[in-house]
Amino acid sequence: MNGQPVARREHYLNVSYGVKSWLFTTDHKRIAWLYLVSVTFFFFIGGLFATLIRLELLTPQGDLVQAETYNKLFTMHGVTMIFFFLIPSIPAVLGNFLIPMMIGARDLAFPRLNLASWYIYILGGLFTLAAAAAGGVDTGWTFYTPYSSIYSNTNVALTVVGVFITGFSSILTGLNFVVTIHKMRAPGMTWFRLPLFVWSHYATSIIFILGTPVLAISLALVAVERLLNLGIFDPARGGDPLLFQHLFWFYSHPAVYIMILPGMGVISELIPCFSRKRVFGYEFVAFSSVAIAVIGFLVWGHHMFVSGQSVYAGMVFSLLSFLVAIPSAIKVFNWTATLYKGSISYDAPMLYALGFIGLFTIGGLTGLFLATLGIDIHVHDTYFVIAHFHYIMVGSAVMAYLGGIHFWWPKMTGRMYSEGWARLAALIIFIGFNLTFFPQFVLGYLGMPRRYHVYPPEFQVLNVMSSAGASILAVGYVLPLVYMIWSLRYGAVAGKNPWRATGLEWETPSPPPTDNFEVTPLVTEEAYAYDAIEPEAAYAGRPAHV
């Protein structure tokens, strides 16, 4: 709430009060907050599971939890983090809040559908929480058959129904974004004047739309097989367990691009703002997003090199997997080149962005090891894979999410967070993250398989390092929760553009009015026109501490 002794300006937060005004809102900005609270909740649930996993792995023996419990912990950690945190996080929170504003629109194309998406997400989440409460599920988030369809005696059907339902939340969000970006751009906002955040969400939405339905049907078949004792994936009755793997990975590989493309979009906003320069190679970055989305649909078999898939299929998937890495490399080079001869400040969002570039580089490069057939045979299903994807999903995607939340926090709340604490938290997260996951590359090459509850004693030192890092990382994640909430009441009041950033969202008051713009903007400038900003005029309203 705005405790300032000035005339109260009406904005989207104070235009109405009460639970109903939030639960029945169609304002994209309020819906973004609904998602923010929900994904944060699921993040900490998933984090709780991770904490228990890392505690157990401090010792080679299984002394904290039983094997069955451990299997449920890593399964629930994966399901919660992927489907209920990572996939919605940036699109449903920042995308929802910002896309209409960035293109000069009053709202998304289908505001009621947007609210429905949140309710669907919550419904799916309830099913999954119910599965956890009923004893959990132990198939791994990948639900491979025939273990998941026949052998597991845990709550598989309940969990996959939860994920199935939540998938529709993604599909409808993607649909909303695509229509909005096509049809609701303000006059003068051509495709190549769009912020790269919008481009990356457009690419992500393509994946939402085309990939998620295939996951839905894969999981539906598993659920039906379990409930009705069918034999679709039962090899003893003519079924093919590899069919499940193909159907599952057809979605779940593009899903990882759902999890990183929005983060890349955030970085494409932070780097130019805190270097005060246009993004180097704007068109290349924009097209790279689309290229990643498209090629990303063609590489799913790289999860199945050792599965019994044909050698020739393996070669095709390997080649395509190398190709999909190229646009990501192009983006990294372009972001780095943006820094050249810039004017760089070290605000917390920029620290997250710079950290992202480094960690995403490592994560992406280690992906090449996995795409390389001869090496993947050795490191597949080991901690090498775990390290790789956590570098992308935690070291990159979560850092981008936090960077974005910090950057747009003044716009969303009208308050500044504490910059000192934020920089400290960013540093703690960076250090904790690397200490947690770098040792896992070594563990993986040494041969420690993933999903192992107990392990040979020679792997203990690296596991202890990893768990120590995780404890530091946990501190880093709790800090923002504390100081962000604190800032809602006690943070410095923010003006409309505390970062002197370009972009239509910064031309509205902080927090914005419900309809975003008093008058529909007319766009005449290219994106990131930092060289065109007059320093004097833009200086006003900048918080004293930066």
Partner 1 sequence: MILGFPLFPEQASTMAGRVDALFYFLLGVAAFFASLIFFLVVFFAVKYRRRSEDERPKPITGHLGLEVFWTAVPLGLTLVMFVWGALLFFDTYNPPLNAVEINVVAKQWMWKVQHPEGQREINELHVPVGRPVKLMMTSEDVIHDFFVPAFRVKKDVLPERYSTLWFEATKPGEYHLFCSQYCGTQHSGMVGRIVVMEPAEYVRWLGGGATEVSMTEAGEKLFQRLGCSTCHRPDGTGQGPSLVGLFGKPVQLAGGKSVTADEDYIRESIVDPRAKITAGYRPVMPIFKGLISEDGILQIMAYIKSLKREERTQAPK
Partner 2 sequence: MSKAEAVRAHQFDDSGQQHEASWIGMWVFLATEIMFFGGMFMGYILYRSLYPAAFANASNHLDVWLGGINTAVLICSSFTMASAVHSAAAGKRRTLVSCLLLTMALGLVFLGIKFSEYYVKFVEHLVPGISFVYEQRFAGPAEIFFSFYFAMTGMHALHMIIGIGLLTYLVVNSLRGRFSPSYHTPVEMIGLYWHFVDIVWIFLFPLLYLVGRHL
**Residue from the set 37, 126, 133, 227 that interacts with partner 2 by CB under 8 A:** 227
Please give, one letter per residue, the 3-state secondary structure of 124-149. HHHHHHHHHHCCCCCCCCCCCCCHHH
Taking the complex as a whole, how short is the minimal distance between the CB of residue 139 and partner 1, in angstroms? 8
Using rule CB under 8 A, residue 507 touches partner 1:
no
Contact between 445 and partner 1 per CB under 8 A: yes
Show the site string, 63-92: x = touches partner 1 by CB under 8 A, - = not.
----xx--x---------------------
- Distance of CA 341 to CAs 104, 282, 338, 390, 532, Å? 31, 17, 8, 32, 16
CA distances from 282 to 144, 278, 382, 418, 524 (A): 41, 8, 38, 32, 17
Please state the closest distance from residue 281 (CB atom) to partner 2, in A.
29
The answer to whether 207 and 258 are in contact (CB under 8 A) is yes
Q: What are phi and psi of 262, to 5 degrees?
A: -60, -35
Of residues 218 and 289, the one with the C-beta less far from partner 2 = 218
Choosing from 31, 57, 157, 216, the residue that interacts with partner 2 (CB under 8 A) is: 216
From CA 449, how far away is CA 454, in angstroms rounded?
10
CA distance 158 to 135: 11
Residues of this chain, 229-268, that bind partner 2 according to CB under 8 A: 229-232, 236-240, 243, 246-247, 250
Exactly one of 112, 190, 192, 283 binds partner 1 (CB under 8 A); that residue is 283
Task: Please give the size of the binding site for partner 1, defined by CB under 8 A.
Answer: 94
Sketch the per residue contact string, 100 through 119, with partner 2: x for CB under 8 A, - otherwise. x----xxxxxxx--------
Binding partner of residue 138 among partner 1, partner 2, none, CB cut-off 5 to 8 Å per kind: partner 1
Q: Does 221 contact partner 2 by CB under 8 A?
A: yes
Which residues have C-beta within 8 Å of that of residue 64, sequence separation ≥ 6?
52, 55, 56
Shortest distance, CB of residue 249 to partner 2, whole angstroms? 12
Of the residues 58, 116, 122, 179, which one makes contact with partner 2 according to CB under 8 A: 179
Amino acid at 188: G
Q: Answer yes or no: are the C-beta atoms of 381 and 449 closer than 8 Å.
A: yes
The size of the interface with partner 2 (CB under 8 A), counted in residues, is: 48
Among partner 1, partner 2, none, partner that 41 touches (CB below 5 to 8 angstroms by kind): none
Contact residue for partner 2 among 55, 116, 130, 210 (CB under 8 A): 210
Identify which of residues 7 and 228 has a Cβ nearer to partner 2 in the complex: 228
What are the tokens at 529? 């026109």
Q: Pick from partner 2, partner 1, none: which does 431 bind, CB < 5 to 8 A by kind?
A: none
The string of DSSP letters for 409-440 reads HHHHHSB---HHHHHHHHHHHHHHHHHHHHHH
- CB closer to partner 2 out of 107 and 347: 107
- Among partner 2, partner 1, none, residue 108 binds (CB under 5-8 Å by kind): partner 2
Distance of closest approach, residue 372 Cβ to partner 1, in angstroms: 4
**Three-state DSSP class for residue 415:** strand
In this chain, which stretch among 14-22, 72-80, 122-130, 211-219 interacts with partner 2, using CB under 8 A? Answer: 211-219
Output 218 or 382, the one with its CB closest to partner 2: 218
CB-nearer residue toward partner 2: 58 or 224: 224
375 binds partner 1 (CB under 8 A): yes
| Alpha-helix runs per DSSP H in 196-310 | 196-228, 241-275, 282-295
> Helix, strand, or coil here: 449?
strand
Report the C-alpha gap between 155 and 538 in whole angstroms: 57
419 binds partner 1 (CB under 8 A): no
544, exposed or middle or buried, with CB in 10 Å at 0-12, 13-18, 19+?
exposed
Least distance (Å) from partner 2 to the CB of residue 88?
Answer: 17
Give me the sign of the Cα torsion angle 266, 272, 278, 284: negative
Assigned token pair, 48: 């709780």
Residue 7 is given by DSSP the state P
| Amino acid at residue number 172 | L
Helix (H, G, I), strand (E, B) or coil at 64: coil
CA distance 211 to 299: 13
| Number of residues that make up the chain | 546
User: Does 294 sit near partner 2 (CB under 8 A)?
Assistant: no
User: Which one-letter amino acid corresponds to residue 448?
Assistant: M
Q: Which of 119, 217, 539, 541 binds partner 1 (CB under 8 A)?
A: 539
Q: Which of residues 146-175 bind partner 2 (CB under 8 A)?
A: 171, 174-175
Angle at 114 between CA 109 and CA 119, to 5 degrees: 165
Q: How far apart are CA 168 and CA 486, in angstroms?
A: 34
- The answer to whether residue 178 forms part of the interface with partner 2 (CB under 8 A) is yes
Considering only 28, 253, 278, 411, the residue that binds partner 1 (CB under 8 A) is 278
Name which of residues 174 to 203 contact partner 1 (CB under 8 A).
Answer: none
Counting contacts by CB under 8 A, is residue 135 touching partner 2?
Answer: no
179, interface contact from partner 1, partner 2, none, CB < 5-8 Å by kind: partner 2
Select from 102-110, 138-146, 405-413, 502-510 the region that touches partner 1 (CB under 8 A): 138-146
Burial, 340: exposed, middle or buried (Cβ in 10 Å; 0-12, 13-18, 19+)?
exposed
Least distance in angstroms from the C-beta of 353 to partner 1: 10
**Could you say which of partner 2, partner 1, none residue 307 binds, taking C-beta under 5 to 8 angstroms by partner kind?**
partner 1
* Whole-angstrom distance, CA of residue 151 vs CA of residue 131: 17
Residue 511's binding partner out of partner 1, partner 2, none, with CB under 5 to 8 Å set by partner kind: none
The item of partner 1, partner 2, none sharing an interface with residue 25, based on CB under 5 to 8 Å by kind, is none
Q: Residues near 365 by Cβ (< 8 Å), separated by ≥ 6? A: none
The contact set with partner 2 (CB under 8 A) reads 100, 105-111, 171, 174-176, 178-180, 182-184, 209-214, 216-218, 220-221, 224-225, 227-232, 236-240, 243, 246-247, 250, 515, 520
